[in-house]
Amino acid sequence: MVPARADSRATPEASAESRAPSTASTAFGGFARLRARPDANDVLHYFTSRCWLLMAPTLLGCALVMAGISGSVPDIASALCMVAAAALCLPAPLHAKLERRILHDGWKRYPLMAVAVLLPMALFGFGTARWTNLQPGLHWDVTVNVYVIVVLTATALLESRLTSIIAATVGLWGGGSIVGGSAASFALLALGGAIGLLLAISQARNAASQAQAHSEREREQRRAEQLLHEYEQTGQGWFWETDRMGRITYVSERIAALLGKSTGELEGRPFTSLFMLEAQGQQSERTLVFHLNTRSSFQDLDVRAGTGNGEDERWWSISGRPVLDQFNNFMGFRGSGTDLTEKRRSQQHVTQLARFDSLTKLANRFQMAEWLEKILTSPRVETRACAVFLLDLDRFKQVNDTMGHPAGDALLKQVAERLGGTVGDRGRVGRLGGDEFQVILHGAQQREGLAHLARRIIENLSQPYSIDGARVTIGASVGIALCPDDGTTSEALIRNADLALYAAKGNGRGRHHFYDEDLHSDARERQQLEEDLRDAIANGSLELHYQPQVRTTSERITGFEALLRWKHPVHGYLSPAKFVPVAEETGLVAQIGEWALRTACRDLARWPEEVRVAVNVSPLQFANPALPAIVTQAIATAGVSASRLELEITESVFLGEDKSTESMFAALKGIGVRLALDDFGTGYSSLGYLKKAPFDKIKIDQSFVRGATVPGSRNGAIISSIVSLAEALGMETTAEGVETLDELDLVRMLGCSHVQGYIYARPITVEAATAKLSESLVAVAEGPRSARAPRQTMLRKVMLEHGSHVYYGTIRNISQSGAMIEGLWNVPPGTVFGVHLADDYLMMATARWSKEDRMGVEFAQALELDGTGAVLFTPTRQRRDRADQPELRRVG
């Protein structure tokens, strides 16, 4: 029933139903308290009234009246009895309070009633009767009338407490009967007391039954009111009521608040003003008006609330019925409503999920496939051209594993924003799932333009991200397929773009790759490599080779780094760069890492005590809570000291910087192993983790050692800073990748405590390492004095400008400082060219030598390297006026 206000026109039933809802504490908590401990004024359960103290002045007043009428005073005994009776009535509030502390069904309340009610009345009766017998001037008719007055007063003060009234009456007349009373009077008094007791018992039973029935009715009513109130307050529904003219007489406060008004402002307004009846095409709204006019019931009508448009739009489902009085006169409508807004939004959300990614709000796989299919099935052949980009984020799984999936979701949102901003209006961007994205460009596309867009995407997505206060850096790889060159169906284009993506990732990640027919054979080769790697793990075909780590001051071997090697049964030794990525993607790296840890400890047991072994720990291994147990078991099985084992950990484990990382470091240090920070300076950019991480050594990445001896290089300053930082933190330093004597002299001068590289030895087998240690721990540096910049082999068409002439050539190899270009004959040394390495990328270069159709050029400015050591073609827009360049001579 609807909680409506009482109305002069409402029926008695409606008036009863319109009681305002009570709170939960009143409805249920109050009733529970009533059952547990009755109310203080409950005449059924409590015998003593706080008003009983008024009996004291009543008794004293009656005694004064008797003295005035008789002209006498009571003797001492009579007076003491009457005064004692009045005194016993005075602590009535204390007696009532004490009785409240006694369970209402306990026997202790009866002695309390006897002391508080029966005893004072008996003393007063005894005192007055004694006074009457001793004073001839005081007659019994006066005393009897006083008794009547006292009994009536007691009845009033005891407030219908029948048991107490009977006790007071019996006590008063019983006290009087003691003085000269006969046996007959005592018998009559006993009879009257028994009759009164029976009446009290009967009344108590009736009162108990009535109280129980009343409590049940009250509980049901409160429960109904509370349920209706909660129904309103929780937003599950609301109620309304109108008069016979259709004006609002009641509406829930919540609805009034949604409409931006108070209930007082809505009362008296037409009920239809709550809705937008002018909206077109709403059959339910016209039906509402029809039902209101015809005074007929209606149910579950959808109406639009009059709250405005846009985000404030709300929809309700309302039901109502006419209210009639006892004479069947129409009194108005009463009904309820529920909110349909969330249901409608859920329906819209379902539609959104069917076509859009819920996390990034980009188009999902279904919509992208639908759009691509629409392009490829266009009626006109010339409009079917398009390009498909497949993107995969590099190192995203590492972010998920170390920082958690919420951080990964936040990263994906930022990636989606950057990707959409980079592509712009050129195409449509979608997320296929996980860290895979897709870009579709409609229309004929030039490969140069696509390559430029791919480089921009990779560059923008590789910029650092801020996730939960931490700085995160990832990369991206892009595979590209074109229609109709690489396929004319959506399945073929997606498959070929996926193969191109794998090729881009296989070439070092952070690259783009166009589809080529050779990629099919590469995919088969990769699948075969994965199968062979699984077989190698099962058959024990993997090996550990060891590269010595040498102390710079004494040139003695202090330890070896364990390096993974695999001798393929067909291809021979494979580079770890070829099969380790396969192990990471297939989840085999944890199994391989555990095997390497056990094998290194077993080999370490054969070496001198002063020699240590260093084993690399991948981020996946580090995130495994069982790692300390695995390390402990490997050390115990090999029987070596924990301090001889050094675990090399990369900076990527600090991407999360959570408590689990600190706990893992504490557990490993508790074992007693040494910890080394590997590839320092190439990953996580923050140095804050060094304050907490208990490293024993920092390994300087070889990218800082390479080129450190080249004039103008800043690598030496970086190495010096790292050494100073390590010394301040009490850590050792190891310079990796030292290959020349010049580099060895530099790192020794800069204070590196250890050196690792080809200058002392290449990685060797465990047998060779054991033999070396058995001879001597002294290492001898052997190698070239200096090294040229590392070169990268490639076939790349370039355009060369010299004066007003333009030439075309092919780059055969390239380094940071120069390149070998093929296609120009007999170029004089010293000739200056403007070399177009990429779109909008002009690099000035000088010819240093020439032989037949090949020449070596030196760049005016060093090129940049990416994280893998490959050359980056970052536009610098370096140009010079062609008028300043000399003419090219003897060009064939």
Residues 409-458: pLDDT tens digits? 999 999 999 999 999 988 999 999 889 999 999 988 888 999 999 999 99
Paired tokens of 98: 């004490």
* Location of structure tokens 């296929």: 432
Going by the DSSP 8-state scheme, the letter that residue 869 receives in this structure is: S
Strands, E assignment, 487-637: 512-514, 542-551, 557-568, 572-574, 612-617
Q: Are 499 and 414 in contact (CB under 8 A)?
A: no
Does the structure show a pLDDT above 80 at 885? no
pLDDT confidence of 723, banded at 50, 70, 90? very high
Q: Which of 175-179, 545-549, 567-571 has the highest mean pLDDT?
A: 545-549
Does the structure show a pLDDT above 80 at 149? yes
Paired tokens of 809: 């050539």
Residues 204-239: pLDDT tens digits? 677 667 767 777 888 888 887 777 777 777 667 888
Alpha carbons 3 and 302: distance in angstroms, whole number = 23
Does the structure show a pLDDT above 90 at 129? no
For every residue of 238-268, DSSP letters joined together read: EEEEE-TTSBEEEE-HHHHHHTTS-HHHHTT
Q: What is the mean pLDDT of residues 304-317?
A: 72
- Determine the pLDDT at residue 668: 92
Residues 270-279: pLDDT tens digits? 988 888 765 4
Paired tokens of 240: 């309304």
Does the structure show a pLDDT above 80 at 538? yes
Residue 57: cis peptide before it, omega within 30 degrees of 0:
no
Residues 2-42: pLDDT tens digits? 343 334 333 333 333 333 333 333 333 333 333 334 555 55
Alpha carbons 357 and 389: distance in angstroms, whole number = 18
pLDDT confidence of 105, banded at 50, 70, 90? low
pLDDT confidence of 132, banded at 50, 70, 90? confident
- Determine the pLDDT at residue 596: 93
To the nearest whole percent, how much of the chain has pLDDT over 70?
Answer: 85
The letter for the amino acid at 18 is S
Average predicted confidence (pLDDT) for the chain: 82
Q: What is the mean pLDDT of residues 696-725?
A: 89
- Determine the pLDDT at residue 175: 80
Paired tokens of 638: 């090999």
Alpha carbons 637 and 635: distance in angstroms, whole number = 6
Does the structure show a pLDDT above 80 at 822? yes
Residues 160-183: pLDDT tens digits? 787 888 888 888 888 877 876 667
For every residue of 414-461, DSSP letters joined together read: HHHHHHHHHHGGGSEEEEEETTEEEEEEES---HHHHHHHHHHHHHHH
Strands, E assignment, 180-278: 238-242, 248-251
Residues 608-660: pLDDT tens digits? 999 999 999 988 888 888 999 999 999 999 999 999 999 999 877 776 556 77
When comparing pLDDT for 270 and 584, which is higher? 270
- Determine the pLDDT at residue 676: 92
Alpha carbons 262 and 193: distance in angstroms, whole number = 64
Q: Are 443 and 386 in contact (CB under 8 A)?
A: yes
- Determine the pLDDT at residue 98: 82
pLDDT confidence of 771, banded at 50, 70, 90? very high
